[in-house]
Amino acid sequence: MNKKQKITIFSGLAAITISFAIWALQGFHLFTHQKIEIQLPQSDVDKLLGQPPRYEWINHFTLGLEYTLAFTAIVISISIVMFFLFKNKRKIN
Amino acid sequence: MKTSIKVISLSILFAVSIFPQGLPSGQAGFDVKASGVQTFSFKDAKGRNQTTFTSITALDEVDGTSNEVDGKISFDVKNVAATLKGEISIATASIHTGITMRDKDLRAPKWLDAEQFPKISFTIKKVTGVKKLAANKLELNLLGIFYLHGIKNEIPISATLTYLDESPVTETREPGDLLGVTAKFQIMLSKFGVKNMVLGSRVADKIDIGVNIVGTNKF
- Dump the DSSP string for A64-91: BHHHHHHHHHHHHHHHHHHHHHTSPPPP
Which residue of chain B comes nearest to A56, CA vs CA? B65
Pick from A30, A45, A51: which is nearest to B170 by CB?
A45
Minimal-distance CA residue of chain A relative to B184: A52
> Which residues of B sit within 8 Å Cβ distance of A?
48, 50, 52, 59-60, 63, 65, 96, 98-100, 102, 137, 160, 162, 164, 169-170, 172-173, 178-180, 182, 210, 212, 214
The confidence band for B195, taking pLDDT boundaries of 50, 70 and 90, is confident
pLDDT, tens only, A75-91: 999 999 999 999 877 66
pLDDT (mean) for B85-111: 94
Partners of residue A55 in chain B, C-beta under 8 Å: 50, 52, 65
Q: Note if the pTM is more than 0.90.
A: no
Task: Tell me how many residue pairs between chain A and chain B have CB atoms under 8 A apart.
Answer: 64
pLDDT grade for B60, boundaries at 50, 70 and 90? confident
Run of H or E including B11? helix B2-18
Tell me which residue in A31, A49, A50 faces B60 most closely, judged by beta carbons: A31
Instruction: Look at residues B32, B29, B105, B117 and name the one whose alpha carbon lies nearest to residue B64.
Output: B105
Mean pLDDT, rounded, for B64-80:
96
Judging contacts by C-beta atoms under 8 Å, the chain A residues touching residue B209 are none
CA pseudo-torsion sign B125, B131, B137, B141: negative
Q: What is the pLDDT of residue B166?
A: 96
Q: Given this model, what pLDDT does residue B22 score?
A: 40
CA dihedral sign, ordered A27, B55, B49, B139: negative
Contact list in B for residue A46 (CB cut-off 8 A) is: 173, 180, 214
Q: Is residue A8 part of a domain?
A: yes
Q: Which is nearest to B202 in space by CA: A27, A70, A64, A63?
A: A64
ipTM given for this complex: 0.76
Looking at residue B9, its pLDDT comes to 55
d(CA B216, CA B134): 20
pLDDT at B20: 44
Q: Which of A45, A60, A67 to mutate to test the interface with B (most CBs of B within 10 A)?
A: A45
Q: d(Cα A12, Cα B173) in Å, to the nearest integer?
A: 56
- Chain B positions in Cβ-Cβ contact with residue A35 (cut-off 8 Å): 96, 98-100
> pLDDT at position B201, please?
75
List chain B residues with CB under 8 Å of A34.
98-100
Distance in Å, alpha carbon of A25 to nearest chain B alpha carbon: 17
What's the whole-number mean pLDDT along residues B46-72?
94
pLDDT digits (tens, 9 = 90+) for B5-22: 565 555 544 544 444 444
CB–CB of B68/B50 below 8 Å? no
B52 CB neighbours in chain A (<8 A) are: 55
Q: What is the pLDDT of residue A76?
A: 97
pLDDT digits (tens, 9 = 90+) for B111-137: 999 999 999 999 999 999 899 999 999
Contact B169, B16 (CB under 8 A): no
Q: How many domains does chain A fold into?
A: 1
pLDDT value for B46: 92
Determine the structural domain holding residue A20 and report its residue range: 3-85
| A11 occurs within a structural domain | yes
Cα B63 to Cα B55, B118, B182, distances in angstroms:
7, 20, 18
Query: Is A41 within a domain?
Result: yes
pLDDT above 70 as % of chain B: 86
Which candidate in B42, B104, B173 is best for mutational testing of the A interface (most A CBs within 10 A)? Answer: B173
Query: What pLDDT sits at residue B15?
Result: 47
Condensed to tens digits (0 to 9), the pLDDT of residues B134-168 reads: 999 999 999 999 999 999 999 999 999 999 999 99
**Could you state, in order of their start, the residue ranges of all structural domains in chain B?**
24-216
Residue bearing the bigger pLDDT, B214 or B2 = B214
Whether A92 is covered by a domain: the verdict is: no
Q: Does the structure show a pLDDT above 50 at B23?
A: no
Express each pLDDT in B176-186 by its tens digit: 999 999 999 99
Class of the CATH-defined domain B24-216: mainly beta
For residue A63, being part of any structural domain is answered with yes
Q: Are residues A54 and B48, on separate chains, in Cβ contact within 8 Å?
A: yes
pLDDT for the residue B59: 82
- What does the pLDDT look like over A6-21, one tens digit per residue? 999 999 999 999 999 9
Range from A30-39, A73-82, B19-28 carrying the lowest mean pLDDT: B19-28
Quick: pLDDT tens for A48-83. Answer: 999 999 999 999 999 999 999 999 999 999 999 999
- Distance from A42 to chain B by nearest Cα, in Å? 11
Query: Does residue A93 belong to any structural domain of this protein?
Result: no
